[in-house]
Structure 1
Amino acid sequence: MLNPGTSADPAVTPANHRCEPYLRLHWTDSHTDAVGYLVVHNLRGGLATGGTRMRAGCTLREVEDLARGMANKTATFDLPIGGAKGGIDFDPKDPRAVEVLERFCEAMRPWLDTHWVTAEDLGVPQHLIDQVFEKLDLDQSYHAAIRRSADPAATLARVRGGLNAAVDGGFLLGDVIGGFGVAHACLAAAVQWGQAPADTTAAIQGVGTMGGAAAYYLSEAGMKITAVADAAGTLYCPAGLDIPALLELRDGYGEIDRSRLPAGIEQMPRGDIVSADVDIFVPAAISYAITPDNSFDIRARVVVEAANAATTPEAEAMLAARGIPVLPDFVANAGAVAWAWWLLLGEVDDVPGTSFDRLRTTMHNKVAQMLSAWTDEGITPREIGHRWADDPAPLTGPVVIP
């Protein structure tokens, strides 16, 4: 059973997207030059959630921005938990990366054991962080919540069942649910325009867990994806890319094997993805991908943030001035965290259709409200989202995890 929020709980502070973080922790690895950070933006019911990322160049400011975004996500989707984020400045391709992750998690163990519910993020797949948790005798990365449930063993079994449920395409539900939500944010935009998926085009920057799943479900819905980009460059086909075929060519880092590309695909510089002539642009790779320097290259009707903090505030203001709305990450890519908590609370299970139906309905409803406010009143989607985030549902009693 989880304790309800109290007046001492930072979660009740209004305007979570503007206030200072509750906690910042800095970690220095004893074996490498890696440094790491934990930022807890707010606690709610004594808990905060947010993934752990690893990339060379990760900064404290970046982790702070991401933790703030997580607080916005949980409030916007009425989840009984605050927002946090972990980040490690280290190359995830380095052979020492797993050991670095293990030492970081060991250092953060007091928070991981009692307050911080973490999961995958850039450079850290879910299966890897779960392996680390098992090695630390913490079972699974949702440990801090699971241990508070009425029946931890049953909750752990439900979580593992949901994460590992098989879905079409040879994927696991836990790996694709976030990208499924992004896809339906895109599809909801097309609905708002009165446009069929088959008449809508998209470009996706990043084909890892989030971007790859978004591309897959958009392709399944009939939307034409003319360009995708990974670290090696942009792949372009005006008639539409065969997304399932390209996804089969990915390695463990979300990069596509160029030696086995189907015929008819043009290879272009990585940065060209931003200027693709499409209806929808989906940045699904790194934070701060859209800046004042490249925002004028965007030709899409809408930007849907699949990556966290994909657009700088200055760039978003410049896009808005040109009539291009940005669907913010804390709505568009929040399907993964919302679903994880629905799973923890027993509101969904290991039946994929139940999870897909709920997330589809929720995402379409939120995007429709955002784009209606943009069209009718000129209010940006982010401002609408912030209004939701600033007024979360109150915790009126203990939150029970069955």
Structure 2
Amino acid sequence: MPVAVPAPPAERTTTREPYLRLHWKDDITGARGFLVVDTLVGGLATGGTRMRAGCTLGEVEDLARGMTRKTAAFDLPVGGAKGGIDFDPKDPRAVEVLSRFCEAMRPFLDRHWVTAEDLGVPQHLIDEVFAGLGMRQSYHAAIERSGDPAATAARIFRGLTAEVPGGLLGDVIGGYGVAQACLAAAYVRGWDVGRTTVAVQGVGTMGGAAAWYLHEAGMTVVAVADAAGTLYDPAGLDIPALLATRDRFGEIDRAAVPARVQCLGREEIIGMDVDVLVPAAVSYAITADNCASVTAPIVVEAANAATTIDAELDLTARGIAVLPDFVANAGAVAWAWWLILGEVDDQPGTSFLRLSREMTAKVSDLLTRWTPADGPVRWTADVSHLVREVPPVVVP
């Protein structure tokens, strides 16, 4: 039976203006780009740069606001920002567009904005662009604050490129955090991990790593979706084998898919009969138009802003818990700053252990004290309205 969801507290209905909005237009292609600094803490803000056709200023604002929540949720000494470019990342001119965008944003990238990979922009690519512009790496603004920038940059490079099961540590750590959030949710609900089923929308950096580590932990990943459609096997998919066939755009080679696996429509992933649904592809994947098809009792937002506000209210009224992105997928930014600050190094075990402990504690606390009558889980977890006084960042 649906439950009555209370109105949101006043501080969550008031739209706070971001610290800074910047618009950019590429003279060559006509591509438009945006930088939104939602909050500046200690002179710094952090958030990735995405590229997709149709990216809007409103989308980038939402994402920047989410970064503020992430940094607050994990008590990081930095504010939230986001960059976005309205351009197709598959276009052969995409790298040049990204380079010109970063060149235009150079004053902020030099001193105030620490960026990284996001949708359509892998980490190795943005690092190459930074190198071409004479900056060490996309964490440039933080690196230059250190006492020994060369040593700090070397530590960051070793951490990002450390080889781990499933790929490179810098590529998989965010998905590992999502997997830990799913496992913690199953534990709170008292589910047997081996009998818990999961569907993952998106098999790029975040979704692919989440699926890989969930499979490794023993959960049954019965469905994954990419741009070409949904792959479904009720007995469980061979996730490592499927991921090994991905192209550079994160799409699985259908010629390598076993005959027993059903090939369904791309949108069917949302309505899969599973215990945990992980939207890990694009923002606003679950909307008022499709949320009625969601039956999974737990939704874990691996993509930023994966669920619209109205859809989240509907799901909550039906007793479905939506673990918000600023907790569930914040492992990547939390780990990046632990690495920048020297709190973890290039030893993967240290990073995995710390992220597992922190993610498990946060998700367990949220779900243990949450009921649908309280409103969406994000209201319980929301920290964006908190004013934080933190000292300036000191990078060793």
What's the TM-score once normalised by structure 2's chain length? 0.95
1:206 to 202, 214, 235: 202
Bigger mean CA deviation after superposition, 254-263 or 269-278: 254-263
Q: What SS does the corresponding residue of 2:35 show, helix, strand or coil?
A: strand
Q: Which moved more, 1:343-352 or 1:369-378?
A: 369-378
Q: TM-score, normalised by structure 1?
A: 0.94
CA displacement, residues 262-318 of structure 1 (integer Å, 9 cap, x when unaligned): 231000000100010000000000000000010000010110000000000000000
Q: Deviation of residue 389 (structure 1)?
A: 3.9
| CA deviation profile, 1:330-363 (whole Å, cap 9, x unmatched) | 0000000000000011000000000000000000
Counterpart of 1:351 in structure 2 is 347
**Aligned-pair CA distance for 1:15:** 7.3
**Equivalents in 1 of 2:217, 2:388: separation in Å?**
33
Which of 271, 276, 288 is equivalent to 1:275?
271
Structure 2 residue corresponding to 1:399, chosen from 388, 393, 396: 393
8 Å Cα contact 1:78/1:392 also seen in 2: no
Q: 2:40 & 2:389 partners in 1: Cα distance? A: 13
Please give the secondary structure, in 1, of the residue aligned with 2:27: coil
Contact 2:320 2:372 in 1 (8 A): no
Counterpart in the other structure of 1:31: 28
Residues 370-399 of structure 1 show CA distances to partners (whole Å, capped at 9, x for unaligned) of 11121397353201221x34336531x443
Instruction: For 2:136 and 2:210, locate their aligned partners in 1 and report how far apart those are by CA, in whole Å.
Output: 29
User: Within 2, Cα distance between the matches of 1:18 and 1:69?
Assistant: 13
| Alpha-carbon contact 1:370-1:380 (below 8 Å) kept | no
Question: For residue 7 of structure 2, what is the aligned residue in structure 1?
Answer: none
- Equivalent of 1:45, from 36, 42, 45? 42
Match of 1:390 in 2: 385
Cα contact 1:16–1:72 (8 A) shared by 2 = no
Q: Does 1:329 align with 2:332?
A: no
Q: Which residue of 1 aligns with 2:6?
A: none
With 371-380 and 350-359 compared, the bigger mean Cα shift is at 371-380
The Cα of 1:55 is off from its aligned counterpart by 0.3
Distance in 2 between residues matched to 1:141 and 1:199, nearest whole Å: 41
**2:84 counterpart of 1:87:** yes
- Match of residue 161, structure 2, among 159, 164, 177: 164
Deviations 1:74-108 (A, max 9, x none): 01110000000000000000000000000000000
Q: Contact 2:39–2:81 (CA<8 Å) still a contact in 1?
A: yes
- Please give the residue correspondences for 1:178-217 in structure 2 after superposition, counting only pairs within 5 Å: 178-217=174-213
- SS for the counterpart of 1:238 is coil
**Structure 1 runs of 4+ with >6 Å offset:** 14-17
Aligned positions of 1:137-148 closer than 5 A = 137-148=134-145
Shift of residue 16, structure 1, vs aligned partner: 12
How far 1:259 moved relative to its partner? 1.3
Aligned to 1:253: 249
Identity among equivalent positions (%) equals: 68
> Does the CA contact (< 8 Å) of 1:42 and 1:48 recur in 2?
yes
Give the direction of change, closer, same or farther, for the CA distance of 1:31–1:16 in structure 2 (3 Å limit). farther
Once residues 351 and 16 of structure 1 are traced to their aligned partners in structure 2, the CA distance between those partners, rounded to angstroms, is 43
How many angstroms apart in 2 are the aligned matches of 1:377 and 1:189?
18
* Alignment check: 8 A CA contact 2:319 2:372 kept: no
Q: Residue 8 of structure 1 corresponds to which residue in structure 2?
A: none
Distance across 2 between alignment mates of 1:376 and 1:123: 35
Contact 2:339 2:345 in 1 (8 A): yes
For the 8 Å contact 1:17–1:69, the answer to whether it is kept is no
Q: Is the 8 A contact 1:51 1:119 kept in 2?
A: yes
Count of residue pairs the alignment pairs up? 386
**Is residue 19 of structure 2 the alignment partner of residue 22 of structure 1?**
yes
**Structure 2 segments unaligned to the other structure (5+ residues):** 1-10
Aligned-residue CA RMSD (Å):
1.4
Secondary structure at 2:371 match in 1 = helix
Shift of the 17–84 alpha-carbon distance from structure 1 to 2, 3 Å rule, reads farther
Question: C-alpha displacement at 1:199, in angstroms?
Answer: 1.2
Alignment-derived partner of residue 122 in structure 1 = 119
**Cα drift, residue 42 of structure 1:** 0.7
